A = this chain, B = another copy of it.
Amino acid sequence: MSDYNLDLHRQAANTIRGLTMDAVQKAGEGHPGMPMGMADVAVVLWTQFLRHNPQDPTWPDRDRFVLSAGHGSMLIYSLLHLSGYDLPLEELKRFRQWDSKTPGHPENFHTIGVETTTGPLGQGITNAVGMALAERWLAARFNRPDHAIVDHYTYVIAGDGDLMEGISQEAASLAGHLGLSKLIVLYDDNRITIDGTTDIAFTEDVMARFAAYGWHTQKVNGHDPLAVKAAIESARAEGERPSIIACRTHIGYGSPNKQDTSGVHGSALGDEEIVLTKQALDWPTEPLFYIPEAARDFMKMDGRFQSEWEIVWENYLVNYPEDAKRFKQFLNGELPAHWDDILPTFEVDKSMATRASSGQVLNAIAPHVPYLLGGSADLTGSNKTDLKGEAALAKDDFSGRYIYFGVREHAMGGILNGMSLHGGIRPYGGTFLVFSDYMRGSVRLSALMGEPVIYVFTHDSIGLGTDGPTHQPVEHIMSLRAMPNMTVIRPADGAETAVAWRLALENKSGPTSLVLTRQGVPNLDRSKYAAAAGAAKGAYVLSDAPNPQVLLLATGSEVQIALEAQEKLAEKGVAARVVSMPSWELFAAQDAAYQESVLPTSVTARVSIEAGVTLGWERYLGLSGTAIGLERYGASAPHKDIFQNLGLTADTMVEAALALLG
């Protein structure tokens, strides 16, 4: 420890404080307090421990660093700039400006070196649990004696807000359960939140809570570099438990008038106070954005860690060529070439829930996509997400391929994001569709980041029956459709479900929500109806009639109702076309000619049916069509009674069609 240069440390930390104050002041907005308070901790971590390579930010075995308290973004921008990432000082001077690389909160899809997008509190630390889980899982699969090709830490800086959020508590409990000992959280214990001191709302014993989760806990003075260094060393030495180190810090460290106040949390200090602070820190007041060369040299990171790893990797290539090939397959996410040989087919006309079809498809795919890893939030049997013959991950055994997330939907979402961000894994997770609400914060981040997480949302409507309205999604399908970059697929039968899984796996630029029934639906006779391959275009003519007078639009379990209505209309001499619309997003991506071929502008008599809110259906119906759906919550009863009593029937469709046709 004694060889740690405290003068260089001080210069580096003050450089971060100066960059932070100046950038926030220039932007006029931002959060200077946290970077100023955690600068000491961050400098110790980045200079003494973090194994990374600014020249190759995608090096697979780099340590992961997550700034969970994302509002303190100037901390990570300063660290990235100083350590040598492609983030020029000019970008720091453009903090929070249009198209700069320094947005208000860190965005991994926008700024090289940022591992995940943070800001919504609790998400970063949860992503980190996913990253640490991914590391452990890949290590269990690929490391060989003297060939530890997967062997890195995941470090987090988290604040009070992160730890107050429920998602982080769920994630911490699971991390403790799984013994993710290479996860190290540096808790910025500054006792200040936006509303004031933490004692106005947050007086629990945080360390005791984490100990109860099975974590290794320490407390240090966050402004004592040697103490911080020793604590991180102890955390790394801990082989059984994840670690949290409460770093007692002063928010806005150095500011004579604002340190330790909520005023410095989220507002610029003002020119005058910045001068006073720099003076108090014994730091040049000019130039702005001052970086002494000594500090830059101290923070600079070369490629030495990656070089060390490359040697191991080269040996691995020689000694374990098959494993190396497989490892690359995992990292690249290579998909099977011949889907038709893999995907199951389904017995025609047999009644089968699409969740059951999904389970069969998943199990057919799993052997061919060995990096597929997922689980359920304590609804395995209901979601049909289990992989037959694969064990669940346990503290002492990561050889399996299934995760019992517990009743922790929000953490599941954040962990799936972290697994995906880590690389080498294609994650999926299941719960009831209604509980997509519980995890919406994380699901949105999947979409915003473009992470290809697969969400398996079963029990997708009133069709789940007697569990009643608390469990019956009504608004959820449309709410997911409203989320940019989310692909929602609600298949009508087994064949469409197989297509849906293929599409989900092929979608690498964003998440997919598979929306599946609890109740049985008939596997459609594709010799009578159009092939399910049409589902890949989002919507397709499932069953046509010559010169259709009316279009019947439906998704999922309501497609069978539309087909029944079509027959009834035919009996009355009305030609109706049935369009199955499993995915609005995929349909919107088709060209205008295809869209017109499915939904001809000339046919304005249109009736849709979906067991959910009708808001949004006007996109395909216009003002002249009729949407059959629900403008209310469901009810507890056998599902057929609910469909009947709430008017989701073929007869209702027929009546609506006839009314439109006059």
Contact = CB atoms under 8 A, between A and B. Distances in A.
Interface in A455-488: 465-471, 474-475, 478-479, 481-485
B475 A448 contact: no
Interface residues of A, number: 111
A567 interface: no
A200 interface: yes
A165 B176 contact: no
A495 interface: no
A105 B170 contact: no
A194 B98 contact: no
Question: Within the oligomer, what is the number of copies of this chain?
Answer: 2
B166 A408 contact: yes
Contacts of A100: 636
A545 to B, nearest CB: 22
A475 B467 contact: no
Contacts of A206: 212
A624 B619 CA distance: 10
B202 A208 contact: no
Nearest to A410: B166
Interface string A386-412: 000000101000000000111111110
A631 interface: yes
Contacts of A304: none
B205 A212 contact: yes
Interface stretch (A7-15, A283-291, A343-351, A376-384): A376-384
Contact of A468 (B104, B202, B445): B104
Interface in A212-251: 212-214
A506 interface: no
A112 B405 CA distance: 36
A615 interface: yes
A382 B27 contact: no
Interface in A424-442: 434-435, 437-438, 440-441
B201 A378 contact: yes
Contacts of A103: 466, 468-469, 635-636
A57 interface: no
A141 interface: no
Contacts of A635: 98-99, 103
Interface of A: 27, 29-30, 70, 96-100, 103-105, 107, 117-121, 160-162, 164-170, 173-174, 176-177, 193-196, 200-206, 208-209, 211-214, 376, 378-382, 392, 394, 404-411, 434-435, 437-438, 440-441, 444-445, 448, 465-471, 474-475, 478-479, 481-485, 601, 613, 615-616, 618-619, 621-624, 630-633, 635-638, 641-642, 645
Given A104-B467, A176-B204, A437-B440, 12 more contacts: A29-B467, A99-B635, A119-B471, A164-B408, A200-B394, A440-B440, A448-B470, A484-B613, A485-B633, A616-B616, A622-B622, A622-B624
